[in-house]
Amino acid sequence: MTGVFDLTGRKALVTGGSRGIGGAIVDIFAEYGAAVAFCHYNDGANAGSRVDRLRAAGYAAHAMECDVSVEASVANMAAWANDALGHVDIVVNCAGIGGDKPFSSITVSDWDHMIGVHLRGTFLVTRSFFEGMIQRSYGRVINFSSQLAYKGAPGLAHYCAAKAGIVGFTRALSYEGAPKGVLVNAIAPGPVETELLMGLSDEWRAMKMAELPIRRFGKTNEIAPTVLMLASEAGAFYAGQTLSPNGGDVML
């Protein structure tokens, strides 16, 4: 059964791939045979070191800076990815931001930025590659939501709204893609030990830790294998689904 996870010959684009969960996805995709391009935002040092390490190990890896909330930036990144890889079979929309605020303190700018990176970014990046996948009758789109799309959380109304939107987007687009060989699914992880989580307040993290049945935060290498499954032939019967490695925070 190990062959069903093989990505040899596949071309993957991962947003937010310089570190955190995105970085773990880049690594596991490369290890399982994919040529990988990833984008980052203002994280050139981490991106460069990841590319150097992967290339030194004999893997095909490429990196570029991109603001996924900006249409022109995404268009440039998409052209670069297609040039670097030839085409893109797999898109993982993993770029994200955090930050907790009481609802009364959330400004329009805060709201627009959160929605822009998560929901608008997922739309813009997916749109850049979706038609090519349809034309080739093959593709995988894997979007990153959150368990908070289902559960909600104090201080994260803007984040939860963006992540819930991604679940709806995933389901709707799956109806268009699946009959033509393009499978669209999502991941809704629980709290994972990343810089995004560490950017939340100590009080928020303590509250969340106490809620988790598993009594710890996740690790990036505990999320990446779920993405690998959806990207590979092991995930060939998944369409419009949102999988939830979340330590029991939400039990669907």
Query: Which residues are tagged catalytic?
Result: 159
- Residues belonging to the chain: 252
Say how many CA atoms lie within 13 Å of 160 toward its Cβ. Answer: 15
62 beta partners: 37
Crossing angle (nearest 10°) for helices 44-56 and 20-31: 20
- Tell me which residue of 98, 198, 112 sits closest to 146, measured CA to CA: 98
C-alpha to C-alpha distance for 96 and 10, rounded to whole angstroms: 24
Q: Please, are residues 2 and 199 in contact by the beta-carbon 8 Å criterion?
A: no
Please give the structure tokens belonging to residue 210: 């106490």
Amino acid symbol at 100: D
